[in-house]
Structure 1
């Protein structure tokens, strides 16, 4: 990379490529663009008034294209992004600007009996620029930096490849979806297969990243059939056997609001009309009355007399569309292709995962099959632009990094070993540092009838035995056991357990073991809120079903969690294999910001930022800092103070200041790289300076991206694990990476099911002089140090812990309306995985968390 101008990028340049590790080849879901448009692309701004959604914009555009092609567009085949941008391979014949009037028949919700209205739109096109494609070639070869011209050129290519699918199929973001092979989910919805497309710049060439995706749509067809499914009935006949309650009506209204329908009782011409459901009537069709010729008449009677339509289900409410028009449900059909934007419940999520969880070989084959749907070769728009795309997946060079040597307690029969295929077990091993558990209690959230005292005691005996065999010290083998109602006063129950634990040993309580009747969020959230912010004691939650079948493996996993909560250390890596951390005082920091769900953006719910930082040379102990900040704000607003807290804690723990800072930052999109780097590096420097004017540790700032569509497929069985995925330690740093910046893909974890997703690490700033291999190896080795399992994980532990901290912090907000379907974590863990965090209550904005 020595020929690259160091001023070519604001971010760190690739220092070369790694050589160590076993070299292999893998296929990846990238397809090379073999011929780019040349020499220029024409960019036009389009304004359609009045403003309408992208789907209708595309319909207007298509109508205009058909109307004005011969006279105004000539042989130009423009592509449209659905919003404001049009791109062409040659200029429009009409010159730099033109205005057109387009009329569309309205199909969304005119009331019955009215003449079908027409909608008129004004269509203004104005030339913006000519995109020089030669500059894009220079960028790919590392001869120039990113510019607005290059950004617009890449956007034009993305619009080009997405234009035709967007005109033919349902779309969402960068994906389009088809109902071929769709599968019904619980509750009147179905999952559709989709294809994601994105043009990516890589060394010397442009490539298209194509991947499978899936999303949920409402089932089309009979509205009554949908009602049956929403109310969880078996057949339509079951509706006639039930009493339709207000609760049913409210549930239906919530599910059906804004759903588009068409009616079937007035002939084929009228069935083209589209209505949108506003609400449901409060009474059944047989009792919903309105005025006809000065007389009150119910809907059922009106349909019988006017359309000779006898209602089979007069007891169902009517749907109400605009202008207070009442329609019986049985004359309504659901329009196809409507995305379901609500949160999925537990059953729907389970079915969705089954549909989308594709083994690597199946996924690769389906991606290749998707090329026939995309049909790049026969796309008339791409032909005019001169764009050509390979039909073959790219084959890339990869390396498999060696796994590190793990260390357990010296008295273990297997005190040190190298894990195979990214996982191991605790057989013949004792934790590196065993904690002592003396003062504790057990709370069973359920009745003694459901959870007999004897069964609880048997489980505790098995758990205690396993913990002792694993190296923990548990002098108190008979903790108090309390039964409590899961619907009762949780805080009172935990306080009682805390008092009983302290009284039984006359010492400060260390742990409350909680046995839960289900996996629901509300009970778990309240336990963590109380234990973390009110009582100040560690809790360990387990599911009741595991108590009755206490397997040693399960108890061993619980032991790992308990040990780190009480200050123990489960394992560590040989210091020689993490020299960057062990040779000089070094602090690892993981950062993450979690945002409100899309449906909660206007509810005032904040974003939560968390940092987790290592506190020792074995990177086994962590401290954390949390801040609440404005919703959807990506830059960590109070980062300087948060880093300052962690640096002070490190100094108090180790007696030395960190000389190096390795900062892993998660949750940042490419468009935000520059602002996040500028603001957050500045904040880190400010934190250091506030402690000592002369304190200037060297900083490496790395972005981790997990929300991407890059996948790897082994070409040789010896390079794959039992699930068909690439082996842990597979790293890719050429062919599909950035043309010249320092980034790489690392798949550090063993596959469980489906196709594994590698993490994308992008170095934005590096004062520590990493070479490619040293950073890749350090990052991979760290993935073996996640304290709560005996597996290499997919992301470095400080970031994993930061995810868990954000998830836990949501539970600390009083008044949250938790439901079983709430999503509280955007990270690799779920609510139940947050249990390793011990929170020491301080003032609300400054909660300090110690993990392990």
Structure 2
């Protein structure tokens, strides 16, 4: 059934709803027992600084399970939604899995290069496209030996079969062409390990009961049955992966069509031969009573494909001499992304046979390369004078002949041999590092489709990419329900061989719409006044900030020109800005201090300017940028202000700031008040868990280096941690900490203990010297497979911090929630009556059933009103709960959902609800600011690379925020 707002919408599966209710009811007994167990930990006595009584430190081995769902939430208006899931039907109860170990057999005549060999073995690793062809040969041979063979693979090392296979030989030997179209064959050995029995029936039984059973009752295990889910994903992904020309498979879950159904947009802004492509994500997931397939629209960046002549024409690229600056700029940009591009080289043999051979491009024919590497050659290529990237008439190569050989231009050679009149396109080098300078004209080259590329997009390319990717929710839902099935081949008859089928209609689920809270400001008489959000947003008309921060006595400004003769903003606009901030209720002197000079250039000595600020006691420095910064000046400003000199900085764009718009002034003013320690707004109704002023909320996140241009051997940048916490019941101030840790390490080290202790002291300083009784933590960004690591590796560091700060008789209660935005679940309104202006579900929509597992406590929340595209809900999963269940019992779900939802209205620098709760949001911003503090790592451009090292790091690594700003929201 196609997706249709006007058609009849099926109700959520009544049998699944019944099963969900039965399972959650059965868990109530364990909930009662757990509550009783935790109640026994509550002791009376003097306690510690945290209060008169509390709970003693829990046993170290107490956490053996994730907390069960206390009940499904009930608050809010019911609403039926579409979800981007299909039901997966499984008829069979058992699969078998083999692991394949592939090795290349070295030839006596052509021994394999040891480049890329596994350490200590001298054996070259078989991977990528080479491995794909080997596995295809293996499948063909298995089918040849057994005509009834049924198998599926991800074309790497896993093979799923219906029954154990009988091998005539193990290892098996197969032969594959050395390159696409080549007649020369290369031998490989493939050794099979297994089979491992995949018990699908055990998973089915689990889904209808959600009981872990004796084997898993005493262990934290999530996700459940990963080997079965992995097998289903391999089966479903096998067919679209099998034709690598028609469909490009990226990673384990993304598929892009490159046949007649391809949908691409060329990103020609910078001549880099890139294209945005639309494809589909798929991944199977377990839910109560059933297996679901999560399908979504996805986008990726690929190399342009097709005849090289068409690509050159589209980019308006021709061979050019060094004096043609624009042409050279195009060529350099194009040349940078060309190496390793897979192409088809189309040529004729001496017998007149047309051959299409797969090759990898080394680059454009380049005079500089010849100058470097051609010195040892007897007859290196020759370029015409002043030609960096030569065309057919500008480059000569040596050919042997009866009279000893001679140089001939590429143009003349192809004219004489093939009767081709070559145009002045740049020549392509199809050589290797060992044998470079095999020059081929563009007329004989075709770039193969589906080559994904990891690239940091420029601002123009990003804008074009977003324009292409941003579609209405209806368009995405319609594509998922129709086109995705063709690309992912979900209706292919071969799935029936495994007893697998996928329902044809999207899933419907039951959601609820929560009421928006009322926010509070001060009016012009400095009395509290209520403001009611509408559509997740409100305005500050006729109101002031709820609480001003420390008064900014001394502030100043400067125009920073990022290009010569850029327009500047006059003093009158700055004075109007100061007056506006005072009118907002912000504690600031209306008139700024005059700067030494009102206009400075992008290459000015910023250190000298910041030293002047520090010497003159400036508390706030407003930098008016002539345009959006793309040169790294912003990072330099934040590095100097936040870390070196301890001065708050506020960067504004001159074009917007100069208009004097109240909306723009107010938006910047909110950030200024937060930097000064103020509270912009609060909620009218306090959360029940926060009413007594004894709760602290924490958020932390880790960001990892991605898409950075590193030379071979260069050390990789560190991962960065952002940590924030509340200081009082207003929940308006969230001071931050950040630090480095091992690159790509997600779990926090023991440094978390130190950070937690510091923030407990900060909370204590603002709350009469006592420590919080309750600590609610939002841990951002970890995957399901890392949930147990959070409890086993990070929670002990938090417990250790509490043991050091509290008395032995009193320890705080902790609830730990993981928040995730990077997932593929989407919901769509089933009726125009329940639709936002952008066609999305309305803000405040929450879903905790239908696509979840009853055994675990999680929910999807769309707190914000998405203005364009499809709204992405935040996904929250409770890993530990010592607060809500003991206090609220079966209403714990409603209380936690309400807290999380209403927190989204407390994001201090906006007058709207945000998509993820502020503790997680702020932690993410802290990580981004930490990147700005380390421009030597994270501000690299595509044309630059890190200094080549053997493991050393730039000398400025490890910057810390200045002591003056450490307890502030400097990052906002």
Deviation at 1:375, TM superposition (A): 6.8
1:143 aligns to 2:264 (yes or no): no
Give the one of 159, 162, 170 matched to 2:248. 170
Indicate the SS of the match to 2:884.
Answer: coil
Matched ranges for 1:117-516 at <5 A: 117-140=184-207, 141-144=209-212, 145=216, 150-168=225-243, 169-173=247-251, 174-179=253-258, 180-186=262-268, 187=271, 188-227=273-312, 234=316, 242=324, 250-266=332-348, 270-280=354-364, 281-282=366-367, 283=383, 284-285=390-391, 286-290=394-398, 292-293=400-401, 294-300=404-410, 301-313=412-424, 316-322=426-432, 323-324=435-436, 325-374=438-487, 378-410=491-523, 411=525, 415-435=529-549, 436-446=551-561, 450=565, 455-481=569-595, 482-497=598-613, 499=615, 502=616, 508-516=617-625
Moved more, 456-465 or 657-666: 456-465
Q: Determine which of 25, 31, 39 is the counterpart of 2:86.
A: 31
Post-superposition shift, 1:227?
4.7
Q: 1:663 to 1:600 in 2, by over 3 A?
A: farther
2:784 is the alignment partner of 1:670: yes
- Inter-CA distance 740–600: structure 2 relative to 1 (3 Å threshold): farther
Greater Cα shift, 22-31 or 120-129: 120-129
Identify which of 158, 162, 177 aligns with 1:105: 177
Task: Summarize the Cα distance change of 1:149–1:122 in structure 2 as closer, same or farther, 3 Å threshold.
Answer: farther
* Deviation larger for 637-646 or 480-489: 480-489
The alignment partner of 1:86 has SS state of strand
Distance 2:176 2:704 in 1: 39
Q: Which of 291-300 and 775-784 deviates more? A: 291-300
The answer on 1:538 being equivalent to 2:623 is no
In the TM superposition, what is the alpha-carbon distance from 1:446 to its structure 2 partner?
Answer: 2.2
Instruction: Verify the 8 A CA contact 1:376 1:388 in the aligned structure 2.
Output: no
Residue deviations 1:562-606, cap 9 Å, x none? 1111222110012x4312123241111101001111546863210
Structure 2 residue 812 is the aligned partner of structure 1 residue 812: no
Q: How much is the aligned-residue C-alpha RMSD, in angstroms?
A: 3.0
Structure 1 Cα separation of the partners of residues 623 and 850 of structure 2: 51
**TM-aligned CA deviation for residue 219 of structure 1:** 1.3
Moved more, 86-95 or 438-447: 86-95
SS of 1:272 mapped into structure 2: strand
Change (3 A) 1:183 1:460: same
Give the match for residue 787 of structure 1: 908
Instruction: Give 1:14's match in structure 2, choosing from 69, 79, 82.
Output: 69
Deviations 1:411-440 (A, max 9, x none): 369811321111011112111123433311
Aligned counterparts of 1:295 and 1:760: Cα–Cα separation in 2: 70
1:577 aligns with 686
Q: Provide the C-alpha distance between the structure 1 equivalents of 2:777 and 2:420, rounded to a whole number of angstroms.
A: 69
Give the corresponding residue for 1:44: 98
Distance (whole Å) between structure 2 residues aligned to residue 814 and residue 375 of structure 1: 41
The alpha-carbon deviation at position 519 of structure 1 amounts to: 1.8
Pairwise CA distance, 1:313: 1.5
CA 1:289–1:448 in structure 2 vs 1: closer, same or farther (change >3 Å)? closer
Deviations 1:331-375 (A, max 9, x none): 322122211222222111111111111211111001011344057
- Counterparts of 2:222 and 2:666 in 1: how far apart (Å)? 55
1:732 aligns with 2:847: yes
Distance in 2 between residues matched to 1:118 and 1:557, nearest whole Å? 66
Q: Please identify, of 727-736 and 235-244, the stretch whose mean Cα deviation from structure 2 is larger.
A: 235-244
Provide closer, same or farther for how the CA distance between residues 296 and 249 of structure 1 changes in structure 2, counting only shifts above 3 A: farther
1:646-700: CA deviations, max 9, x gaps? Answer: 1111112222201111111012111111112211110100111122352411111
* Matching residue within 755, 758, 764 for 2:879: 764
Alignment match, 2:26 = 3
Q: Give distance in 2, aligned partners of 1:518 and 1:228.
A: 33
Asked whether 1:550 is paired with 2:660, we answer yes
- Give me the whole-angstrom Cα distance separating, in 2, the residues matched to 1:371 and 1:131: 28
CA distance in 2, matches of 1:343, 1:223: 24
- Deviation sequence 1:40-69 (CA, Å, 0-9, x none): 111222222234324443333333333442
Partner of 1:829: none
| SS of equivalent residue, structure 2 residue 440 | strand
Work out the CA distance in 2 between the residues paired with 1:579 and 1:390.
Answer: 44
Q: Is the partner of 2:296 in helix, strand or coil?
A: strand
Displacement of 1:514 after TM fit?
A: 0.3
Residue 42 of structure 1 aligns to a residue whose secondary structure is: strand
Q: Alpha carbons of 1:148 and 1:597: their partners in 2 closer, same or farther (altered >3 Å)?
A: closer
Q: 545, 565, 569: which is aligned to 2:675?
A: 565
- Residues 791, 820 of structure 1: CA spacing in aligned structure 2 closer, same or farther, 3 A cutoff? farther
**Which moved further from structure 2: 322-331 or 483-492?**
322-331
Structure 2: distance between partners of 1:82 and 1:41? 18
Change (3 A) 1:149 1:414: closer
3-state SS of 2:228 partner: helix
Residue by residue, what CA displacement relative to the aligned partner does 1:214-266 show, whole Å, maximum 9, x if unpaired?
Answer: 1121111233554566xxx5465999993698766554432211112223453
Q: 1:264 to 1:58 in 2, by over 3 A?
A: closer
CA distance in 2, matches of 1:808, 1:266: 57
TM-score by structure 2 length?
Answer: 0.79
Q: Which range moved further: 788-797 or 688-697? A: 688-697
Please tell me whether the aligned partners of residues 563 and 569 of structure 1 are also in contact (alpha carbons under 8 angstroms).
yes
**Cα distance between partner residues in 2 of 1:20 and 1:382:** 41
Pick which of 44-53 and 150-159 moved more: 44-53
1:516-566 C-alpha deviation (Å, 9 max, x unpaired): 122224010001011111221111111121133221111111111111112
Higher alpha-carbon deviation: 147-156 or 330-339: 147-156
Structure 2: distance between partners of 1:121 and 1:64: 10
Instruction: Give 5+ residue unaligned stretches, structure 1.
Output: 503-507, 824-837
2:742 pairs with 603, 624, 630, which one? 630
Q: Is the 8 A contact 2:361 2:428 kept in 1?
A: no
Residue 760 of structure 1: SS of its match in structure 2? Answer: strand
Greater relative CO (CA pairs within 8 A, separation 6+)? 2
Q: 1:239 to 1:78 in 2, by over 3 A?
A: farther
Corresponding residue for residue 720 of structure 2: 608
1:727 match: secondary structure: coil
**1:296 CA displacement:** 4.3
1:621 equivalent to 2:737? Answer no
